[in-house]
Structure 1
Amino acid sequence: MLGGQMPILVLKEGTSREQGKNAQKNNIEAAKAIADAIRTTLGPKGMDKMLVDSIGDIIISNDGATILKEMDVDHPTAKMIVEVAKSQDTAVGDGTTSAVIMAGELLKQAEGLLEQGVHATVIANGYRLAVNEAKKYLEEMALKAKDDKTLKLIAMTALSGKNTGLSSELLSDLVVKAIDAVAEERNGKIVVDTANIKVDKKNGGSVNDTQYISGLLIDKEKVHAKMPSIVKDAKIALVDSALEIKKTEIEAKVQITDPTKIQDFLNQESDTLKLMVEKVHKSGANVIFCQKGIDDIAQHYLAKEGIYAVRRVKKSDMEKLAKATGAKIVTNLDDLSKASLGVAERVEEKRISDDRMTFVTGCANPKAVSILIRGGTDHVVSEIERALNDAIRVVGITKEDGRYLPGGGAVEAELSLKIRNYANSVGGREQLAIEAFSKALEVIPRTLAENAGMDPINTLIQLKAEHEKGQKNNGIDFSINKTGDMNKAGVFDPLRVKKHALESAVEVSSMILRIDDVIASKKSSGGEGPGQMPGGMGGMGGMGGGMPPY
């Protein structure tokens, strides 16, 4: 041992470690790579991505959250960026692509500052100050949503760019209708539980055949062919126990010595089931939805009484049926009474595509409704479902908050101007980070213009000039591919979506900036040589120079 020069091994053999500037650079590269991957999907003129999984299933989408969820991302920092899209989608349902692009751009701007010697903590503080200021300006810019016309325009903005084609007018009408139906007032506040809007899809027909159902659609058929296909003035019973003979809890054997007694035994079973059906009939119900099974003999007796029955209905559908029809879910048939029944104008079985489905329509004041999506192929129908879910969420949020903002990059262009002026009042090194934040905001209008085939630099210069003249609602009007007033063009975004996107972008970029050491344990599977990085991650920067397979 020469002068204590022997290396001390703290980490396990095969563990890789990136430190200091190298770690920061690799992390920023990974985040930028993810942002670049979905950048082309932003806006109404954005392109789609085709994702093929390991078993050959295809998803075609331009929904940021869907794309990132399906991508097989390996790099740890890239996974953090994917989390931004997930949290944005869970919280507000839209703006996922904007949030990810914004996070990537914030890190790109920070890279330049790090090279100039500005400390990562200073940049993170500057970003935090900037986003707090931006939220104040957003509150000032927000307009009040007064009527359904505004809600419809917000739905159309959310649907634009998705594969809804010429049907976005029809779809946005359906979304607003559904939101108005399920909105409730609690303690003077409007609450919209979008889980009460059931979206079903069936391929076949065209997108224009998509329909709103003032009631519910259950993807089940009646259990017996002799039952009526249509029941008018339906009295609906919801039962969550089985109409079957229960097996005994303890193991028991029944021995019959006399052959004549076999028929008695079978008759007794049949009588028990008949009694169950009588209880249903006595309550006045002519439709029964059962969460569990219905015995064949019980089906026969129900058909005899002219009762329409559906079995094995999902628990979530049972709850929605209760909200739509006003029925109470009963566990024991003895509790079934006239008071626990729900009502609907009609319950009918219809053939949609190759399946038979049960429609419960004409409910008096349904607090749960359905939308049935139609379209040419599975891929079209699935993308419209994703688009509709986004639209339902944003319209629900706007109905609750009653606040919205101009879209088309107008908000970001205005914020960029305001934050730049604010930076001058702060001073110190944080000023540089606030200016970087202001510059990062420009990525949204620039990308929108780029995706629409416009000249991004000229468009951005023009937009800045208009905002400096006080035209704060000006953004990119895609109908004419020029800048214009977003309020006149009817392009709107909910306030909550914009706020959440900025907050989550700043949070994740600050977290990534503050990482200066990445220690990765050796992966257990795969025979890596001693000199190799785990999982072929290329020195933790696997996403920098060429991303690993998504």
Structure 2
Amino acid sequence: MAQRMGNQPMIVLSEDSQRTSGKDAQSMNITAGKAVAESVRTTLGPKGMDKMLVDSSGGVVVTNDGVTILKEMDIDHPAANMIVEVSETQEDEVGDGTTTAVVIAGELLDQAEELIDSDIHPTTLAQGYRQAAEKAKEVLESKAIDVTAEDRNTLLKIASTAMTGKGAESSKDLLAELVVDAVLAVADEDGIDTENVSVEKVVGGSIDNSELVEGAVIDKERVDENMPYMVEDANVAVFDGALEIKETEIDAEVNVTDPDQLQQFLDQEEKQLKEMVDQLKAVGADAVFVGDGIDDMAQHYLAKEGILAVRRVKNSDLKRIARSTGARVVSSLDDIEADDLGFAGSVAQKDVGGDERIFVEDVEDAKAVTLFLRGGTQHVVDELERAIDDSLGVVRTTLQDGKVLPGGGAPETELALELRDFADSVGGREQLAIEAFADALEVIPRTLAENAGLDPIDSLVDLRSRHDAGEFGAGLDAYTGDVIDMEEEGVVEPLRVKTQAIESATEAAVMILRIDDVIAAGDLSGGQIDPDDGDDDMPPGGGMGGGMGGMGGMGGMGGAM
């Protein structure tokens, strides 16, 4: 890029740089965002389709989880990545609703494109979109339904709704029970941390064989065959150290001139190791979990004392064992006391799907639990884990906020009506942006209908008429095609799923719309979604604009989608 000063051109950017400005830049970025949204749109709802994602090394992921799809797609375009960030924010904040957030963001961009073509300034659009988003959140919060931790039935419905259409359909009632029990178990005065719910996947058996273990399950074995397989009514020690002789921190040489001296060294080491084991025995430990190694001689003495020991346990697992048994993690055996020990009715090594694991269970007040997920194939249990993660997130969010909304496109249809009324009270061109926002929200019920094989126009007309009549809970039953009361049917989701989706989608759309100049340091004309997929046959698109023309290659994902 060159600017002229008098008759002398002044070079500002390097020759390799590219610049796209004005409507070309806006159009390019809008196209990128819309392409990302379109790639996950068919996965929305209980009848959404799955995507098969094949990476460059041949690894396969089959899923309809929005955030997983977008992460696996390896998107390079900067504007497209802003939409991907919407799904990641949604996942981090709520745990579900990632596809909803991305689809709304894409539709907001689509509606904006039409207004920009009609010479509505992007700043006006941004202002109108923000006003609409604030109003939408107010409306949803005023109409939300209150829920408490005692309302188990509603919590089960929320857990079940989050899993619908994600490979767990046949067993969602059982899994919903397990999820609600798990979240309620780990709740304490500090809140709810779902990190304390460990999910273990086992290939083999059916989904119905999945179970909740109130306690910790460690993917380890006891260190010595002579140790007991099972210890009942066990006092549990958790030691974040090593049952080994520490090496000196400085290099030193010891000259041995007599075999007796060597034996004295060995005897001294053995004595130190025995003292360590004696310390554990003295405080009454029946099982010990060690963060580092255990010397062979220490293993011998532990087995001799009938103590079950496990070594090289991950720090996160040590914390979960301590949390579930009530033990304290100690870093020095010199300071260990009986009060530092936890209690478990059973510490045992068991075979699960051909793998040996240590079960720490039958605890008095499990504040850390383990969900065992079973399935016929690896793909099944992987998708099941994603469904469970979503479900854990929405149950946690519901207990934190105490507010839920009906599903089935009911909130979006209501918001569209409310925002059109609100637009009439807003002066200036922002009114057009608010109306566009209302139209954009209706993409959710419309997509639910399309994915269920229903007529989207008929479904939308039915939904609008029921909401006009004051039925806030009226939503689309994707199985029958009828408009029903979603609250009565038990299809509900946390308030924050919707408010966060609207907020994130709006911010991303506004940020993209406000960009009128794209200056790239290098050549982006080969804008493939997956640069490693070996498909370099895309025609050059004429600079950066053409690079995003290649966003059409997104649907291909190297032939995977």
Q: TM-score range by the shorter chain?
A: over 0.9
SS in 2 for 1:185: coil
CA distance in structure 2 between the aligned counterparts of 1:535 and 1:292, rounded to whole angstroms: 56
SS in 2 for 1:217: strand
Q: Which amino acid aligns with 1:516?
A: D
SS in 2 for 1:371: strand
Q: Which residue of 2 aligns with 1:543?
A: 551
Q: Which residue of 2 aligns with 1:17?
A: 19
Q: Which amino acid aligns with 1:463?
A: L
**Residues 29, 544 of structure 1: 8 Å contact kept:** no
Distance 1:302-1:197 versus aligned 2 partners, 3 A rule: same
Q: CA deviation at 1:354?
A: 2.2
TM-score (norm 2): 0.93
CA distance in structure 1 between the aligned counterparts of 2:462 and 2:8, rounded to whole angstroms: 64
Number of corresponding residues: 542
Aligned positions of 1:318-337 closer than 5 A = 318-337=318-337
CA distance in structure 1 between the aligned counterparts of 2:129 and 2:383, rounded to whole angstroms: 35
SS in 2 for 1:184: coil
Structure 2: stretches of 5+ with no match in the other structure: 527-535
Say if 2:38 is the partner of 1:30. Answer: no
- CA RMSD in angstroms, aligned pairs only: 2.1
Amino-acid identity (%) = 53
Q: Which residue of 2 aligns with 1:440?
A: 440
Q: Which amino acid aligns with 2:550?
A: G
Q: Which residue of 2 aligns with 1:278?
A: 278
Q: Which residue of 1 aligns with 2:167?
A: 163
**CA offset digits 1:99-133 (Å, max 9, x no partner):** 00000000000011101111000000001000100
Q: Which residue of 1 aligns with 2:316?
A: 316
CA distance in structure 1 between the aligned counterparts of 2:263 and 2:519, rounded to whole angstroms: 75
TM-score (norm 1): 0.95
Distance 1:57-1:513 versus aligned 2 partners, 3 A rule: same
**Residues 523, 534 of structure 1: 8 Å contact kept:** no
Q: Which amino acid aligns with 1:309?
A: A
Q: Which amino acid aligns with 2:493?
A: D
Distance 1:19-1:284 versus aligned 2 partners, 3 A rule: same
Q: CA deviation at 1:534?
A: 10
Q: Which residue of 2 aligns with 1:179?
A: 183
**Residues 75, 537 of structure 1: 8 Å contact kept:** no
Q: Which amino acid aligns with 2:314?
A: K
Q: CA deviation at 1:258?
A: 1.2
SS in 2 for 1:55: coil
SS in 2 for 1:343: strand
Q: Which residue of 2 aligns with 1:353?
A: 353
Q: Which residue of 1 aligns with 2:531?
A: none
**Residues 75, 542 of structure 1: 8 Å contact kept:** no
**CA offset digits 1:47-68 (Å, max 9, x no partner):** 1111111111111111101100
CA distance in structure 2 between the aligned counterparts of 1:165 and 1:493, rounded to whole angstroms: 17
Q: Which residue of 2 aligns with 1:90?
A: 92
Q: Which residue of 2 aligns with 1:65?
A: 67
Say if 2:54 is the partner of 1:52. Answer: yes
**CA offset digits 1:25-79 (Å, max 9, x no partner):** 1111111111000000001111111111111111111110110011021211111
**Residues 222, 309 of structure 1: 8 Å contact kept:** yes
SS in 2 for 1:421: helix
Structure 1: stretches of 5+ with no match in the other structure: none
Q: Which residue of 2 aligns with 1:78?
A: 80
Select between 275-284 and 251-260 the one with higher mean Cα deviation.
251-260
CA distance in structure 2 between the aligned counterparts of 1:536 and 1:502, rounded to whole angstroms: 30
**CA offset digits 1:215-262 (Å, max 9, x no partner):** 111111111111111110010000001000111101112222112333
Aligned positions of 1:141-540 closer than 5 A = 141-146=143-148, 147-185=151-189, 191-522=191-522, 538-540=546-548
SS in 2 for 1:542: helix
Q: CA deviation at 1:3?
A: 11
**Residues 477, 489 of structure 1: 8 Å contact kept:** no
Over 4 Å off, 4+ runs: 2-7, 523-526, 531-537, 544-550
Q: Which amino acid aligns with 1:83?
A: E
